[in-house]
Amino acid sequence: MEIIKIRDKAFEPYVTADELQEIAERLASEVRTDLDGRVPLFVVVLNGAFMFAADFIRHYNADCEISFVKMSSYQGMHSTGKVKQLIGLDVDVEGRDVVILEDIIDTGNTLEELYRIFEDKKVASLRIATLFFKPDAYKKTLKIDYVGKPIPNRFILGYGLDFDGLARNLPQVYQLNTSMTNIVLFGKPGAGKGTQAAFLKDKYNLVHISTGDLFRYNISNATKLGKLAQSYIDRGDLVPDEVTIQMLQEEVEKNPEAEGFLFDGFPRTIAQAEALDAFLEGKGMSIRATVALEADDEVLVKRIVERGKVSGRADDQDETKIRNRFVEYNEKTAPLMDYYKKQGKYHSVDGIGTIEEITKRLSDTIDTIKG
């Protein structure tokens, strides 16, 4: 598999040149059939759609006219959420059958602006044809008439689509490398999981997803999921897995450019692990490995007690409570260890030593996993 690098990102082949030709030919045929002899005006959205439009028109075996508009909403790999019209419509479209040719529809912001442009133009008909469509990212209810290929919410380039102005000339489409370093991090209380998570996040350019942080963010910001979680907490009930999983899904979907995710505090049960696997599979991803920081209970007890003296936390100075937390951790984690061992994804790392020593062991383990 040919991996290319653009700027500092790795991309892998996604849609071949032959498949792109097949899509363009199929869409052209569908549009021609629907128009039934009427002469369309194709409006090409620049810059991204220029290669797709050229192939589409080449396959459109009937009379047609072409015009162009230039729109912009991206900076780098992110949509700004604001659409700028850089070159406007320069032809009279009243009474015409207009077909918009788009390279990709994700959030739908550009599509919304296109509908706004044509709403008072008195066209005979308005159709939307897009090469790619990201249903997971789409936030509108506007009609899309022709879709070449639905794709996950991943960043792609080539065949007209760019990354900071580069790669438009590539004859096929590449996606951000999906050989992602998705890691589940386990560790008993006091094992230094938080410290090591911060290091791993920075070294391997991972998005750190902590369920504790997710709950605090959603509840403090009174999001829909935060309010739902708070309602269970207020009643003294456990927050259902479905709510936690939805929070996690939203966080993953916010970061389509991520090179991997570091899951901290999730999953805690087999049901959660299965739900996480199913969700990632639907995104074309998977858990690469689970890494557990292992440490002797007696060493950890001493470490937590010393920490409690500094922090003043009473529960960090009560050895009975500390040991009870270890029992709870072992009971919850043991089935998960078996779950991931059966998948060949479980890796144990010695969590005793200096921060630097443990960091090196973790790095060595992950580097081996990444190959």
| Cα distances (Å, whole numbers) of residue 1 to 91, 156, 170, 253, 306 | 45, 16, 16, 26, 51
H or E stretch at 365: helix 355-370
Known binding residue 108? Answer is: no
Is 300 annotated among the ligand-binding residues?
Answer: no
Residue 216 assigned to a binding site: yes
Q: 235: annotated binding-site residue?
A: no
E strands within the chain?
4-6, 9-15, 40-46, 65-75, 78-87, 97-105, 125-133, 146-150, 156-157, 173-176, 183-187, 207-210, 261-264, 289-294, 346-350
Is 303 considered catalytic here? no
On whether 266 is known to bind a ligand per the annotation, the reply is: yes
Residues in the chain: 371
Find the catalytic residue in 9, 96, 127, 193. 193
**317 assigned to a ligand binding site:** no
- Binding site annotation covers 307? yes
70: DSSP letter? E
Q: Specify whether 268 is catalytic.
A: yes
Is residue 267 a known part of a binding site? yes
Encoded amino acid at 23, one letter: I
Annotation-wise, does 237 bind a ligand?
yes
- Among this protein's residues, is 307 annotated catalytic? yes
3-state secondary structure 127-167: EEEEEEECCCCCCCCCCCCEEEEECCCCCEEECCECECCEC
- Helices 270-282 and 319-342 cross at an angle (nearest 10°) of 50
Find the catalytic residue in 32, 70, 268, 361: 268
Which tokens belong to 224?
């829909």
Please indicate whether residue 140 is annotated as part of the active site.
no
Q: Do 167 and 152 contact (CB within 8 A), yes or no?
A: no
Residue reference for tokens 């998948």: 343
Residue 263, phi then psi, degrees to nearest 5: -90, 120
Q: How far is CA 317 from CA 62, 295, 328, in A?
A: 81, 19, 18
- CB 72, CB 48: distance < 8 Å: no
Q: Is 265 annotated as a binding residue?
A: yes
User: Considering 323, 325, 345, 361, which one is annotated as catalytic?
Assistant: 325
Catalytic option among 26, 307, 345, 361: 307
Report d(CA 358, CA 102) in Å as an integer.
Answer: 50
Q: Find where tokens 């469509």 sit.
A: 133
Residue among 139, 313, 321, 341 flagged as catalytic? 313
Q: Are 300 and 352 in contact (CB under 8 A)?
A: no
Instruction: Please indicate if the annotation marks 365 as binding a ligand.
Output: no
Residue 371 counted as an annotated binding residue: no
272 is annotated as contributing to ligand binding: yes
Tell whether residue 351 is among the known ligand binding residues. Answer: no
80 assigned to a ligand binding site: no
Q: Is 282 exposed, middle or buried (0-12, 13-18, 19+ CB in 10 A)?
A: exposed
Is 32 annotated as catalytic?
no
Do the annotations mark residue 107 as ligand-binding? no
The answer to the question of whether 244 is labelled as a binding residue is no
241 is in an annotated binding site: no
Question: Do residues 347 and 291 touch, judged by C-beta distance below 8 A?
Answer: yes
**Binding-site residue positions:** 190-195, 211, 216, 237-239, 265-268, 272, 307, 313, 325, 353
Residues marked as binding for AMP?
A: 211, 216, 237-239, 265-268, 272, 313, 325
Active site (catalytic) residues: 193, 268, 307, 313, 325
Residue positions forming the annotated binding site for ATP: 190-195, 307, 353
